[in-house]
Each structure stands twice: as C-alpha cells, then as structure tokens.
Amino acid sequence: MSSTETPATMAGTRIRHSFLKVLTGSDLSRRRLPLMQAHADASGPVLWLTACAHGDEVGGIVIIQEIFKRLQRNGLLCGSVYAFPLMNPLGFETASRSIPFSDEDLNRSFPGNERGSLGERIAAQIFNRITETEPTLVVDLHNDWIRSIPYAVIDPIGAQTAAPLHQTVTDHASTSGLLVIRENEIVHNTLSYSLIAHGIPALTLEMGESYVVNERNIDIGVRSVWNLLTRLGLTQPEPQGEFRYPLPDTINGDIYHYTDKPWSSTSGIIRFLARPGDVVRANQPIARIYNAFGKPQETLNATADGIVLGHADSSVAFPGIPIMAFGVKP
C-alpha cells in the first residue's frame, strides 16, 4: 500500500494519503481505492467516513475532501479519522450506480466475501479495513434523487441486534443536525447494516442530488459531519455553533419513517404538487398524472402526515413505480 504523509499541523495532527489495492486489470494496471487518514497525538475515538459506493453519487467525495482540509487547518484534539472517499472508482468513471464489469450494487455486497463475486471481494476488503480499526462510528455518505433534501438514515432494529446500539446510532443521527429517517425494511447487505450486525455504530447521510457536485449540499454535509466530530470529542465546535438543517417549524426532533408510497397506477406525465421539504398532510394531493393529450389520469394523495424528501428523477409515470419519497410519522 503506497502512501504519502503531510507534515503535522500545529495541533499535531498527521494526515496520510494512501491506496488500498482491489484488483489488477488485464493490462496489469492496478485498480486502487484512495484511503485518507488523520491521526492526533492523543488516542481517542475512531471515525470512518465512506462515499461513492454508487458511482453516480459524487457529493460525498467532496464532503470528505473538505473535512480533511479542515482537519489539516484545525487539527484533531484526539483520536483518528479514516475515509474511503471513492469506494466505486469503476462506477464513478462511467457515471454508473453499479460496478460496471459485474453490474453489481456495491452497497448490496457487504460484508463481502474474499472468494465471492467481484463486488463481494471489493466489499470484503473495505469492510475488513474498517473493522480492524475498531471504529466508534462509521458515516456512509450517499446522494439521493436530483431534487431531494439532505437527511440522515438509520437502519431498522433487527431481531439479533441490541437495542442500545440502535439508540447510539439514533443519538448520532440526531447530532448530525439533519432530519432523521428510519428505514422500514432491513437490507442485510448494505455497509451500514452489516457494520451494525457486527456491533459497530453506523449511519447513512443522504446529501441531496446525484451526478454533480451541489455546493450548497456540500456545505451542509461538511457542517453535519463536523457536528459528529465535535460530539465524539475529536474536534472543536464550529465558531458559528452547532449546525441544524432548516426545516419547517412543524417538523420537530421526532424520528420519521421512510416511504416511497403512493405509487402510480397509471402511465403518463407527472406534475408535482408538493416540493422537497414541504410538509404534507394525510390525503393531501401531492401529484397528478396526465396522458399525452393533457387529460388527467390520476391524482396521488399523501398516505400520512409527513415531509417530502424528494422527487423522482423523471416525470415519466408507469404503473407500480414510486414518484416521490416521504418521511412520515410512525
């Protein structure tokens, strides 16, 4: 594993850049994952940041870069920060959600298998590198639909996972300053769930649109991650105080549940009646679908009180597909 190390900051923090080799190409070129590290002189908590498991989700890469710039300037009080800013370089280079060679979703391949598929082998190297450091918290950065608000995601409580661990994850998610959304269904092979199943606190931050770097969302992501660094005692608080994402007054600190219903039951053109970040009430019209002649085919109504998280990336409707995502009250 090749590496470079920067001189220590005034606070004694050492920044190191290196690579984790994942495979060798047919032309004998090496495919590697960038690995970033920051270490204080004093021992303490260990935070991991990961991004770009899906190659079209590029915002997390820049958030991690900006966090390490701050660490270089300000230093760590104690402990260590590690990061894989680009977990799926093959997907990133082709703007593909999956791993192009095998058409696998890396974030459905954890904890991985060293003798398994290509995706499982990459996932195993990532997972093993993370777990060997015994992290205090892992934050996996993702991006959502093009028109969506940032929010924190926590996994549902599994039958074999201790409730205190989930409470720890929930507390960290609330510290992020973002709206907290709990998934309804367990997806066993995501990075976050696989870590939790191994007793390691992990959460996901969905940082707005995919494909391009949205500077507003980058700033939100950096400030949100800095909240977590501060909570863990790794860094000093921001001079402007703890970050809180601006939400409508009616949205309090409760945990909301994720839903992508109602689904369309007809085909046509979607015209949205509620925007990302809007508060909606049960049975409120949130979208209408029109046919090619402009005739209304269907009006979709909110299934419960909640907040709009995002719109589908396309205004094309087909029967049985989601067109919006919501955080709803349990």
pLDDT at 9: 55
Residue 300, pLDDT above cutoff 80: yes
Alpha helices in the chain (DSSP H): 59-74, 89-93, 118-131, 163-175, 191-197, 215-231
- pLDDT single digits (tens) 102-138: 999 999 999 999 999 999 999 999 999 999 999 999 9
Which is higher by pLDDT, 8 or 218?
Answer: 218
Residue 100, pLDDT above cutoff 80: yes
pLDDT above 90 covers a percentage of the chain that reads 84
R_g of the chain computed on alpha carbons? 21
> Position of tokens 């696998």?
104
Angle (CA) 142-145-146 rounded to 5° is: 110
- pLDDT single digits (tens) 193-206: 999 999 999 999 99
Mean pLDDT of the chain, nearest integer? 93
What does the DSSP 8-state code read for residue 263?
A: B
Domain range 3-231, CATH architecture = 3-Layer(aba) Sandwich (3.40)
Residue type, position 83, single letter: A
Residue 159, pLDDT above cutoff 60: no
3-state class percentages of the chain: helix first, strand second, coil last, to nearest 5: 25, 30, 45
pLDDT above 70 covers a percentage of the chain that reads 95
| SS3 state at 180 | strand
User: Average pLDDT of 217-238?
Assistant: 96
Phi-psi region of 79 (alpha: psi -120 to 50; beta: other; left: phi over 0): left
Domains 3-231 and 256-328 share a fold: no
Question: Please, which residues have CB within 8 angstroms of residue 215's CB and are 6 or more apart in sequence?
Answer: none
Nearest in space to 196 (alpha carbons), one of 225, 230, 156: 156
User: Average pLDDT of 136-148?
Assistant: 96
Give 31's pLDDT tier (boundaries 50, 70, 90). confident
**256-328, what's its fold?**
OB fold (Dihydrolipoamide Acetyltransferase, E2P) (2.40.50)
Predicted model pTM? 0.94
Nearest in space to 68 (alpha carbons), one of 33, 41, 35: 35
Q: Which residue ranges make up each domain of the chain?
A: 3-231, 256-328
Residue 144, pLDDT above cutoff 60: yes
